[in-house]
Amino acid sequence: MHQKVFAVRSGGATGVVVKGPDDKSSVAFRMDDKGEVKCIKFSLGNKILAVQRTTKSVDFINFIPDYPHLEFSHECKTKNASILGFCWTSWNEVVFVTDQGIEFYQVLPDKRTLKLLKSQSINVNWYMYCPETAVLLLSTTVQGNVLQPFAFKSATMSKMSKFEIELPAVPKPAKLSLSERDIAVATIYDQLYVMYLKHHSRATNSPGAEVVLYHLPREGTCRKTHVLKLNTTGKFALNVVDNLVVVHHQSSQSSLIYDIKLRELDGALNVHQPVLPAQSINPYKIHLTGPAAAPSQAPVPCELYSSSWSVFQPDIIISASEGYLWYLQVKLQPTLKLLRDKGKLMDFLLRRRDCKMVILSVCSQMLTEGDKGNLSVVATVFDKLNQVYKEYLDAEQVYTAAMESGPSRSSTSYKRPVRTQAVIDQSDMYTHVLSDFTEKKGVKHKFIIAVLMEYIRSLNQFQIPVQHYLYELVIKTLVQHNLFYMLHQFLQYHVLSDSKPLACLLLSLESTYPPAHQLSLDMLKRLSTANDEIVEVLLSKQQVLGALRFIRSVGAHDNISARKFLDAARQTNDTMLFYTIFRFFEQRNMRLRGNPGFNQGEHCEEHVAYFKQVFGENALMKQATA
């Protein structure tokens, strides 16, 4: 959780307020006034407070329960060095950054002292710390453009490969130096990047400023990998939101959004233009509080792109003049109108955190609005969705196989794949898009069927087993529009894959399309399904007559349980159906035993009583007399 610590001096004591994104995380306390506070920070979990008042030492106060709430101080060990600042790398580990190097300490709160873990001598101009990755960046050399990174993890400090930021050319004898205002460090797509805001230079005839991204791996050399073209000049600030680089431009009061995964290759570098037209941050109104605020006073609009704004990575904006801390968020729904190319729009949305419902709404709109009839666009979108779906299914399969093979060195390294919102499965498409689409009025049935078949084609292309309910949707749509010849062709040429639910659906269509009965039986036989199982499936679908016809077609009607069929007939609440089934078994009994009655072992007494109640005793078949 991001928190900011504010200190106010007054009458021999310093009041401290710790503010977070909500009131629950706020803390307030007082401490002795020992001079001006240059820097004040809590360690992770608000356990230890560190306060820098001079360039020589840092003071510490325990906030751990049951520990003495006393202040203790520690001086930097390097003589004549000035402390530029400090960074907490864990709840009890801190690094002092001086103009002559860094000193990495472990804080021992019970002993109220610090233990030196490691130090490194290096001339430092300024520093920048990334808490997400615990990487510290030091600016060295006269121009400040050689950066030396260090990584911290559980009491260890590792020196990473240093690298140089290429500064723009300027006419001699002038020399540029790298300012920390033009550098930001952030994680984008799980990779650490150093972002350099390269201002417009007349000497290079560049059309505007650029943001140059340097990829900083844990091991290996740092390389310049991406250039974001801003196409304008002025004052800028950087944020990273949902793996998007957001560049705020003060004079135009707008922000540019870049996605480094949407690439346009320019040699070895990826050169990027904004994904969307420049957009302004959504206006925000502040409710005034305090003694000066009238109860009926209307909320006041917040000043956007103010010169008093301070931007922190990855997604924080603080307005010093108004005393507000904001998290920046990206609204995905408006991108539907801003990004007309459906392929690019899908590429953009599939990489966003909360994308599922927006993607599904894109699919629905695509099928019923402007792109109606454009199957190539539909195919492109389905393929992009199913590629992500297939990658997830494959990862899940690999993980399952590794777990089933038992514990081993390799299986311990497997993590269960995370199902992100970008995984749009067949159930999602069926529920939110396709089932509604088939019911839409004013859409040509040929296009509806073409879309359904296009989705099935895409699933097959990625070798994803098609769920039976999609085939059922195709069949219902064909039947609804009396396209039986097409249904017959789809089944004949196995466009619709065989399955038991599909065979049952075909059986239910017999009254509308008589050949469906034989088509369903052929399908069940191809599936090599056991006859008993087929009967169970049909009865569960209340296809009692269909089950009886099937069992007669395979010559097994003399051995079936009468009670099972009579139970199923009763459950339909159709008395004439019950009569037909009851009469069939009476006739079977007569043919096999010469008596229409049921044997005691068949347990049909309840059904005989019900038959008498509804149709009367005289309706029972009489035993044939010699």
Per-residue pLDDT of 91-125, as tens digits, reads 999 999 999 999 999 999 888 899 999 999 999 99
Above 60 in pLDDT, residue 166?
Answer: yes
| Listed residue (359, 425, 363, 340) closest to 388, CA to CA | 425
Q: Flag the least confident range among 108-112, 191-195, 489-493.
A: 489-493
Instruction: Label the pairing between strands 83-90 and 71-75.
Output: unpaired
Above 70 in pLDDT, residue 11?
Answer: no
**Band (128; pLDDT cuts 50, 70, 90):** very high
Q: Which two structure tokens, joined as six digits, stand for 33?
A: 């006034």
Per-residue pLDDT of 29-88, as tens digits, reads 777 777 888 888 988 888 899 999 999 999 998 888 877 778 889 998 988 899 999 999
Above 60 in pLDDT, residue 8?
Answer: no
How many of the other CB atoms lie within 10 Å of CB of 327?
Answer: 12
Q: Could you tell me if 114 and 106 are in contact, meaning their C-beta atoms sit under 8 angstroms apart?
A: yes
Above 70 in pLDDT, residue 279?
Answer: yes
Per-residue pLDDT of 208-232, as tens digits, reads 889 999 999 988 899 999 999 998 8
Q: 406 burial class (0-12, 13-18, 19+ CB within 10 angstroms)? A: exposed
Q: Please name the residues in contact with 470: beta carbons below 8 A apart, sequence gap of 6 or more.
A: 426, 430, 434, 452, 455, 456, 459
Q: What percent of the chain has pLDDT over 90?
A: 40
Above 70 in pLDDT, residue 200?
Answer: yes
Q: Which two structure tokens, joined as six digits, stand for 611?
A: 């038959």
Rounded distance, CA 327 to CA 341, Å?
29
Above 50 in pLDDT, residue 1?
Answer: no
Q: Flag the least confident range among 1-10, 150-159, 174-183, 277-286.
A: 1-10
Beta bridge partners of 184: 195
Rounded distance, CA 292 to CA 528, Å?
83
Q: Could you tell me if 123 and 169 are in contact, meaning their C-beta atoms sit under 8 angstroms apart?
A: no
Q: Please name the residues in contact with 427: beta carbons below 8 A apart, sequence gap of 6 or more.
A: 467
Q: Could you tell me if 2 and 316 are in contact, meaning their C-beta atoms sit under 8 angstroms apart?
A: yes
Q: Could you tell me if 114 and 74 are in contact, meaning their C-beta atoms sit under 8 angstroms apart?
A: yes
pTM as predicted: 0.79
pLDDT of res. 9: 46
Tokens 């056991």 label which residue?
530
Rounded distance, CA 546 to CA 565, Å?
11
How many of the other CB atoms lie within 10 Å of CB of 439?
Answer: 11
Q: What are phi and psi of 534, to 5 degrees?
A: -60, -45
Rounded distance, CA 231 to CA 351, Å?
25
Per-residue pLDDT of 305-330, as tens digits, reads 888 888 888 888 888 777 788 889 99
Rounded distance, CA 18 to CA 23, Å?
10
Q: Please name the residues in contact with 388: beta carbons below 8 A apart, sequence gap of 6 or more.
A: 350, 422, 423, 424
pLDDT of res. 4: 57
Mean pLDDT of the chain: 85
Per-residue pLDDT of 498-515, as tens digits, reads 888 888 788 778 778 888
Q: What are phi and psi of 132, to 5 degrees?
A: -60, -40
Q: Could you tell me if 49 and 60 are in contact, meaning their C-beta atoms sit under 8 angstroms apart?
A: yes
Distances (CA, A) of 367 to 164, 383, 446, 448, 466: 51, 15, 13, 9, 21
Instruction: Label the pairing between strands 265-266 and 210-215.
Output: unpaired
